[in-house]
Amino acid sequence: MAVIFLTGFMGAGKTTVGQLLAEQYGYRFIDTDQEIERLHQCSVRTIFQEKGEAQFREIETEVLQKETTSKTVLSTGGGIVLSKANREWLSKEGIWVFLHVTPEEIYQRVKDDPHRPLLDGDPQERIQSLFEQRLSLYNEAPIVIPTSEFTPKEVTVEVMNRIAHLI
Ligand SMILES: Nc1ncnc2c1ncn2[C@@H]1O[C@H](COP(=O)(O)OP(=O)(O)O)[C@@H](O)[C@H]1O
Ligand SMILES: O=C(O)C1=C[C@@H](OP(=O)(O)O)[C@@H](O)[C@H](O)C1
Ligand SMILES: [Mg+2]
């Protein structure tokens, strides 16, 4: 009766693959960003603007903890790993998967999408710098899945293969 946490950089495919994975298992699908937007009735971008990143992170942690229930695929926002407490939660409370993607591929996937406030300005520079800051945190996950050269369906199958013994 597992909960599966999908983590990784913006554009890794956490939201996309999470939905496919939940369909395959017949599990509930929760995306922390979508849940925050539903609870607060406004966009992630607006929350960043009006409340600031620190408060967004507090809300994100609350959602992570509250929605950690059995038979759930929980797709997180890319910054969930910034908090040590969140990383401990991910490692203790469920199956923690890191969807890996290269900075070049991230840029291709997110360049036309205005929804990510942390990529405002020069997105290529922002991606490179955040990637370098965060890679070691994502790599604390026990299960690492490359995604850059695979379709969401292929990534989903690979996640299922890699966690089959834990489900
Ligand atoms: N494996 C993949 N190959 C190509 N494009 C992908 C892949 N996974 C996701 N995408 C695309 O990249 C964008 C970001 O995906 P999304 O699931 O929102 O990522 P995340 O939730 O990790 O930020 C979407 O347009 C999605 O269709
Ligand atoms: O990496 C980050 O800090 C963020 C990633 C976003 O989610 P995705 O990873 O789903 O894009 C969203 O939570 C917010 O814009 C902050
Ligand atoms: Mg997402």
Give 128: exposed, middle or buried? Use CB within 10 Å, 0-12, 13-18, 19+: middle
Q: Identify the three-state secondary structure at position 41.
A: coil
Provide ipTM, 2 decimals.
0.98
Is the pTM higher than 0.95? yes
Whether residue 90 contacts residue 5, with contact meaning beta carbons closer than 8 Å, is answered with yes
Averaged pLDDT, 21-48: 97
Binding pocket residue ranges, ligand 1, CB within 6 Å: 8, 10-16, 109, 147, 150-152, 155
pLDDT tens-digit profile of 114-139? 899 999 999 999 999 999 999 999 99
- Ligand 2 atom with the shortest distance to the CA of 33: 13
What DSSP state is assigned to residue 81?
A: G
Q: Where are the domains of the chain?
A: 3-166
Please report, for the chain, how many H helices and E strands are present, in that order. Answer: 8, 5
Distance between Cα 92 and ligand 3 center (Å): 22
Sign of the CA dihedral with 44 first, then 46, 48, and 51 last: negative
Residues contacting residue 12 through CB under 8 Å, at least 6 positions apart? 78, 99, 100, 101, 106, 147
Report the CATH number of the 3-166 domain: 3.40.50.300
Distance 147 CA to ligand 3 centre (A): 14
Which residue shows structure tokens 């009766």? 1
Ligand 1 atom, smallest distance to 150 CA: 1
**CA 68 to CA 82: how far, in whole Å?**
18
Q: Does the annotation place 71 within a ligand binding site?
A: no
pLDDT at residue 43, rounded to an integer: 96
Give the integer Cα–Cα distance in Å for 145 and 131.
16
Q: Is the pLDDT of residue 47 over 80?
A: yes
Give pLDDT, residue 1: 62
Q: Which residue has the tokens 């693959």?
A: 17
| Cβ < 6 A, ligand 2 pocket | 10, 14-15, 33, 44, 77-79, 116-118
The angle subtended at Cα 54 by Cα 72 and Cα 98, nearest 5°, is: 40
